[in-house]
Amino acid sequence: MKASLRPRLTVDQFAEGILRGDRVILGQAITLIESTRAADQSAGAQLLERIISKTGHAIRIGITGVPGVGKSTFIEAFGKYVIDQQKKLAVLTIDPSSQITKGSILGDKTRMEELSKNPGAFIRPTASGNTLGGVAHKTREAMLLCEAAGYDVIIIETVGVGQSEVSVKNMVDFFLLLMLAGAGDELQGIKKGIMEMADGMVITKADGDNIKHATEAQAEYKHAFHLFSVAESGWTPQVLTSSAHTGQGIGDVWNMITKYKAHTTASGYFDKNRSHQNIAWFQEYFEQLLKDDLQKHTSLHDINRKLAKAVGNHELSSRQAALQYLEAYHEAIRNSREL
């Protein structure tokens, strides 16, 4: 006799569990919103509507860095410090995925073993799958669920491959860039565009024989930041050094972030930026809904292929093909309403 499957929680049960800070239910809720099943997507959407009024209070921090910089080691040391400040911390890590299983392959809870055991922390590794730039499709929703569960600080760790930074920047309040010292010409080691997005930088592994190199790199980056135009926030990015091994500079990073929040809150930029992000999310969701709706009309698939072939053969301009495809979409909508 097969063991009976545990019934899935209702939307009300999910919401109640999240709002009382139940970590098991929070994990299940994130799994729900990540699901591609239509029934789960519907339930996930209802859940988000139920908890949306309880979100927005956390400080959202994006952390990225070059390979080997020690993001997980830094986050573990930084996370423990944040919890010592009587804050609840959630870490959403975006990992490269197996192209066969689409599973997370780096094992964040293993890499942050001490932090994962801390009752004040919630760590959720999420496979990036096929999402552009390695940012998980449902990261924003997971962040909102964590906020509703009472987490004060949300960290989003990127893959760090140079493509996901823009997406993460557009969903966080503070964007932290981790860099190594002593690895050649530091200023050539990362794209200028990524530096321009950063609200702060930390030179990691500043201990032992590497302290001198870290201090030299710190001076170079400070000079580089002063060459950039002033950010809309009015904030000048700080460059710090730290060691996750000795704990040096970890508290300074937290102080930098709290100063940034105070500065941008006083100027009104903090709320303005959040508002702009929400509008951008709305527009992205609408575009995704349009794409999903387009795919539902199977009659359009052949039309798409024929138009693409005509464009490829220089028989039709791209603009004209797009207009014809749009008209075919409108016609499909009209036909579906008449059924």
CATH number reported for the structural domain that contains residue 39 in this entry? 1.20.5.170
Could you tell me the CATH number of the domain that includes residue 204?
Answer: 3.40.50.300
In a domain, residue 9? The reply is yes
Residue 330 has pLDDT above 50, yes or no: yes
d(CA 22, CA 150): 10
Overall number of domains in the chain: 3
Residue 278 lies in a domain: no
Domain boundary among 267, 288, 311: 267
Residues 43 and 127 in one domain: no
Which pLDDT belongs to residue 110? 54
Do 93 and 110 have their domain in common?
yes
Whether the predicted pLDDT of 36 surpasses 90: no
Instruction: Give the number of other Cβ atoms within 10 Å of residue 166's Cβ.
Output: 14
48-56, long-range: CB < 8 A, 24+ apart:
48/141, 48/144, 48/145, 50/11, 50/12, 50/14, 50/15, 51/15, 51/18, 51/19, 51/144, 51/145, 51/148, 52/144, 52/148, 54/19, 54/147, 54/148, 55/144, 55/147, 55/148, 56/147, 56/274
What is the rounded average pLDDT of the residues 146-158?
95
pLDDT bracket for residue 3 (50, 70, 90) = very low
Determine what percent of the chain is predicted with pLDDT higher than 70: 85
Tokens found for residue 196: 């321009």
For range 91-107, the mean pLDDT: 56
What percentage of the chain exceeds 90 in pLDDT? 59
Same domain, 9 and 127: no
Determine if the pTM surpasses 0.95: no
Domain holding 29, by residue range, is 1-54
